[in-house]
Structures are given as structure tokens and as C-alpha cells.
Structure 1
Amino acid sequence: MKYMLDTNICIFIIKKDMNVLSKLKNIDFKEICISSITLSELEYGAAKSMYYEKNKKALQDFIYYFSVLPFDSDAAYEYGKIRAALEKKGSPIGCMDMLIASHAKSQNLTLVTNNTREFSKINHLNLEDWKK
């Protein structure tokens, strides 16, 4: 595996954003995964919407194509290091973003996100923005 998709990129794919889909079509889906943390964010978004059934179906259709990696102890250790480093620098990021970043970093995967400004605060995290 090579890529882990951030929540915002997953949403762009579900909504059929042409910029993101044009990048996606050139990559074998076996090279792409999402974090179980991202899945929880996507489910939350569907559950709070007025169109839960429709959005849940779209989520299930999306998930069919990608592996969902469970957040494991390696990711948990990485999270602790990332959080401590960001607090020392005085530049924290959102908790869910730290969890997703630590998961990608622990697996040595490139995190695909449209939020590179936030994630670039994390040292040695490989990033790509497929929205550009």
C-alpha cells in the first residue's frame, strides 16, 4: 500500500470531484487505504445528515473499493509522539487530524489530503493534495 486518504479527499471522491477522480484513475486501488478513524468521521457525517440512508449507501459504495486499516498500537505510539512534538512547538492541530496523520506515518504511507497546510506541521509526514 502507498496512500492513505484523508476524510476530505474521501468526500471529494464520493461527490465525484473531477480533479480528485482524475488522479485516482491512474492509481491501482490496492495501493490506497483509509484509516478506521476516517471511516468513523465519514459515518458521523452521514449519521448527522438529513439524508442518512442516501449518504450511508454512498459511503458503503465508496468503502467497497478500499481497505480500511484498523488503528493499531504502532499508530497509537506515533500519535503520542506527534502530539507532544506539536505541543512543544505551540502549533497543535485537530485531534482527528493527528490520529489520521499518526496512522499514515506509522504505516509509512503518503497521506492524501486537501488540508496540507494543517498536516505540514507534522515532521516527516508524506503529503499529496489530489485536489490541485
Structure 2
Amino acid sequence: MDKNQTEFEGSCHCGAVQFRVTLSGGLATARRCDCSYCRMRGAVVVTATQDNFRIVAGEHALTLYQFNTHTAKHYFCGTCGIYTHHRRRSNPDQLGVNAACLAGVSPFDFAEVPVNDGVNHPSDRKGTAGNPLSGVLRFIPSTDA
């Protein structure tokens, strides 16, 4: 895996939703979040701007989910249910893109993934300092093969 690669094609599981994306900082932007929604979703996300993300097929298949402040917009395929991307609450000009939807990328390619403190979201802290990270998620492959 080349963490500096920035251009990808991606899709949901069934292929109904297909997209092209140029990542802002390559795969090095990989992270997770521990807010209530992201804990359940469990996706590793990478960063892109809205201008660098283009749906090439299946926009009609996307379903939108919003909660709490309704600032973040979470999109998933209405056919297979796979989360593809979301507009961020912390920076609505940015998208979080599901790394597992990118061609040739698996969330298990990342040995360590920083976990953002979404429980204490930066937008809720009103300028207070605090650690934006709540931890690091590690994947250690089994040696029993």
C-alpha cells in the first residue's frame, strides 16, 4: 500500500454507487472516530474535499443519514447498505471517504489508525483545548496461518 497515493476509484459492495476521488493527503489521513455513530459503523476514513470527489454512477442509489446537529451528512448505498462517504461536521468542506470502498485498499492495510475524540466533538468544545485523539486502533495480523 502506497500511503502517498491520492487518486482512487471506489464503489460500494454491490457496485451500484461508483466514484472517483483525489485524497487531500493520501492514505496517510486514515482515521476513525469514537462518536456514537462511527463506533457502530466502524469504518476507517480518509480525507478529500468536496471538489475532489465525484460520483460517476449510482447517485440515485445513495441514501442520506443525519443526526444530532444535521451538519454531517452520511451517505450509504440504499441497495447493499455500505457507507461510502460523509460530509464532516468538524469541517463541512471536507469529506470522510470509507477507505474500504477504495479499489485495492483494505482497512486491514493500516497497522495503526488514530481515533478522533468524537464523543467530545471539537465543535462542542467552544474553543477549549483538549486532545483531539482518544486513542489508536492497531491491527496485528495473526501468525497462525
TM-score normalised by L of structure 2: 0.25
> Which structure: greater strand fraction?
2
Greater Cα radius of gyration, structure 1 or 2? 2
Q: Which has the higher contact order (CA 8 A, sep 6+)?
A: 1
TM-score normalised by L of structure 1: 0.27
